Amino acid sequence: MGSYINPGNAAFEMSRLSDIYIDKSMLIAKVNKAYRTEQRFICVSRPRRFGKSMAANMLSAYYSRGCDSEDLFAGLEIEQDASYRKHLNQHNVIRIDVQQFLFQESHLDVFIGEIQNAVMQELAEVSDHWSAEYLENPYGLPGALEQIYAHTGKGFIFIIDEWDCVFRLAKNHKDIQKEYLNFLRGLFKGREYVELAYMTGILPIKKYGEHSAINIFREYSMLKPRQLAPYFGFTEAEVQKLCKERGVDYTKTQKWYDGYLLGDLHIYNPHAVAELMMDGDFQSYWTGTETYEALKVYIDMNFDGLKEAVIEMLGNVPCKIDPTTSQNDMTSFKSKDDVLTLLVHLGYLAFDATSEKVFIPNREIAQEYLRAVKMGGWDGLAQSLERSEHLLESTWAMDGDAVAQAMAAIHSETSSILKYNSENSLTCAILIAYYSAKAYYMNPLLELPSGKGYADVVYLPKRNVDKPALVVELKWNKSAQGAIAQIKERKYASWVENYTGEILLVGISYDENKGHACIIERCSLCHLTG
């Protein structure tokens, strides 16, 4: 066994011995189906701490010659699969963690050569299997592997972890990125010695224009997980079982860490759940990986509509995106959609493939956004969000003057980031003002009219929450009474259909001469609709 050639099973053994271990071994059955087929090139991209390396270690332990992993897989689901015995410790594996060769910028000029030298050196050390003369090849590692396969008929399974770290460390070095992609293309494309190639990373494969630079790989990502979705993190059933075993409140766990929607599955960040189960503390475990400073860089970018989209998502309103324009790197941004797509890959947003909308998945990630906002020069937004709880209580108390004063403060505090006479910004103003409503109400219902100068939002209470529904209208250079009249005239029957409780109509106005005013009226559905 070596570090790169048939590395053995020690890394996977540590996972099996860990306090929290979830059986993801049926991933092996999915990968086995690709063995020596046209689909044998697999690239799996998911955020940090979502189990990428554990999966790579498991596959290495399963396929590698030179070790006996039967005891490690005893009792796991894969043991019952028909393909299990056929491949168990039967293959030559080349296992590369690219980050080991590229953990600082000074390595950029040499890391490709170092990867080849390290693998070639280990091949030479086991030259009783592969003649040393095969390794003296002007075409480097691909040439050597081609010679070995030609003379022995034996191929290799490649398992490459952190394949994309080049694009994260060398963000602005396009020449090095291309050289690296050319190396991977030469290593894999058209090579019969490749029995299987499994790559993991945070980013999908880099595109140049509309095309992938390594188009032989079938990609499984946070945008398109395909049939590998259950292996991207912990599923609801797995977390429910852990909570029951450890005596942890599942409902609270769900609010903190659920939210990544992969197909029909809700997926949890496995690192956060494992830390919770061991420590018992509900908190953000994200800061130790991608910190809020990294998030701040992206949400501060000067793309039209980006800040409004972030504010809306903080207010629990999903944002529709077109992810197809993304170039799958960390610098080639042409629109807010490209930035938001990257945040999906980094784990800062979840993606609903049915609606093609992104949203902040849970409370853990929402805290990272709030941290980024506080430190990011979003003048006054953090203070405005902190005012929200008091404003909501004033609304329930039907204290229009207090609501008007709070809106005036929010207007002043956020004037540098919101153009208050535009439709989107009026909606953002309501979402900022009623940010705290997310604890009591379902996702707000928005309708943006065609004309400028007003915006409206409906909040319906969550099940078993004894609070009134809110119909909020904000008008520019109109009266608060006019806002209430607008609500009644437009008749919101379809918005509050099947709702039978109390409704508060909240009319908020802003006049450039008179400032803010607010009128709140109580009514029922029948009064609102007829």
Tell me the per-residue pLDDT of 359-396, one tens digit each, with 9 for 90 and over. 999 999 998 898 888 876 686 888 899 899 999 999 99
Averaged confidence pLDDT in the chain: 88
Query: What confidence score (pLDDT) does residue 432 get?
Result: 92
Query: What confidence score (pLDDT) does residue 108 get?
Result: 87
Helix axes 423-433, 306-314, angle to 10 degrees: 30
Residue 338 CA to residue 322 CA, distance in Å, equals: 8
Query: What confidence score (pLDDT) does residue 46 get?
Result: 92
Residue 340 CA to residue 369 CA, distance in Å, equals: 13
pLDDT reading at 113 higher than 50: yes
Q: Is residue 288 very low, low, confident or very high in pLDDT (cuts 50, 70, 90)?
A: low
Tell me the per-residue pLDDT of 156-166, one tens digit each, with 9 for 90 and over. 999 999 999 99
Mean pLDDT calculated for residue range 245-257? 94
Contact 197, 41 (CB under 8 A): yes
Query: What confidence score (pLDDT) does residue 448 get?
Result: 46
Predicted TM-score of the model (pTM): 0.89
Residue 8 CA to residue 306 CA, distance in Å, equals: 47
Q: Is residue 93 very low, low, confident or very high in pLDDT (cuts 50, 70, 90)?
A: very high
Contact 345, 339 (CB under 8 A): no
Query: What confidence score (pLDDT) does residue 450 get?
Result: 39
DSSP letter, residue 444: P
Query: What confidence score (pLDDT) does residue 453 get?
Result: 52
pLDDT reading at 290 higher than 60: no
Tell me the per-residue pLDDT of 429-476, one tens digit each, with 9 for 90 and over. 889 999 999 889 998 988 644 344 556 888 999 988 999 999 998 888
Query: What confidence score (pLDDT) does residue 493 get?
Result: 53
Tell me the per-residue pLDDT of 291-315, one tens digit each, with 9 for 90 and over. 556 788 888 887 888 988 999 899 9
Mean pLDDT calculated for residue range 216-236? 94
Task: Give the rounded percent of residues in the chain with a pLDDT score beyond 70.
Answer: 89
Query: What confidence score (pLDDT) does residue 343 get?
Result: 94
Residue 311 CA to residue 303 CA, distance in Å, equals: 14
Mean pLDDT calculated for residue range 184-199? 95
